[in-house]
A and B are shown apart, each in its own frame.
Chain A
């Protein structure tokens, strides 16, 4: 069965600093992986997705993630944090693998950005 682990329920960075949100997955076959962002009182918005093409995936708002099979990881990064990046971030894996829609979510990481 697929599963997702997000290390760190809260991450705090200064404006302009590197953002690194960690995600590790468990899957018996090559998965599809996703990062979603949730702003307060809103639904989820897709940041980026990995679907077995390029291992380095670029998304919206300057975010990117690298799929590392050997480490079963899909960490989300952004070189320079902006105040507007403060939100909840969810890593998700598709179930069954290779599908786009039915998702298993990690616990989420709340990102705080300080001036």
Chain B
């Protein structure tokens, strides 16, 4: 299994600012994804982080709001830009390879005030 380190684990941010969340994996993985879990809700896929190229965003999510980087096979970042209280959620990194199930980080609990 993959060990995922997600930082920060939680943060309280002012509206209008940006927060960058890091996801570090202890081994090379093929796939990396970012999910959002709004309070009391299920998980919604934001985007697939592609190594060396632009991320693939799901409907309703745009690069200007959620820029993603993935410089190599073990690391990715998600930035939540120009935050509003509606962005208060748990953001989770998920990784996997072609033949394994998806593994999840502990999540970043974001509160925007």
Q: Determine the distance from Cα of A108 to Cα of B45 in the docked complex, in whole angstroms.
A: 15
A34 near B101 (CB under 8 angstroms)?
A: yes
Chain B, Cβ-Cβ closest to A51: B101
With beta carbons under 8 angstroms apart, the residue of B42, B45, B100, B105 that contacts A106 is B42
Please state if B100 and A42 are interface contacts (CB–CB under 8 Å). no
- CA gap between A90 and B31 in the complex, in Å: 21
Cβ A42 vs Cβ B42 within 8 A: no
A56 within 8 A of B: no
Specify which chain A residues have a CB less than 8 angstroms from the CB of B50 in the assembled complex: none
Most interface-central of A101, A103, A105, A107 (chain B CB within 10 A): A101
B45–A43 contact, CB under 8 A?
no
Q: Interface range on chain B: under 10, 10 to 19, 20 to 34, or 35 or more?
A: 20 to 34
Considering the complex, which residues of chain B in the window 18-73 have a beta carbon less than 8 Å from any beta carbon of chain A?
30-31, 33, 41-45, 48
CB of B101 within 8 A of CB of A43, answer no
Partner of B104, one of A44, A100, A102, A106: A44
Residue numbers in B under 8 Å from A90 (CB-CB): 42-43
Q: Does A78 contact B (CB under 8 A)?
A: no
Cα-based distance from A42 to B97 in the complex (angstroms) = 22
CA distance A104 to B6 in the complex (A): 21
Chain A: number of interface residues, binned into ranges: 10 to 19
Say yes or no: is A49 at the interface (Cβ < 8 Å to chain B): yes
Q: A101-B31, A101-B96, A102-B48 are in contact. Are A43 and B107 (CB under 8 A)?
A: yes
Q: Which B residues between 92 and 113 are near A, CB-CB below 8 angstroms? A: 92, 94-107, 109
Interface residues of A in 25-48 (CB under 8 A from B): 34, 36, 41-46
* In the bound complex, CA of A28 to CA of B33 (Å): 24
Residues of A within 8 Å of B96, CB to CB, are: 100-101
Give the distance in Å from the alpha carbon of A107 to the alpha carbon of B37 in the complex.
10
CB distance from B5 to the nearest CB of A (A): 11
Q: Are B31 and A102 in contact (CB under 8 A)?
A: yes
- What residue of chain B has the Cβ atom nearest to residue A34's Cβ? B101
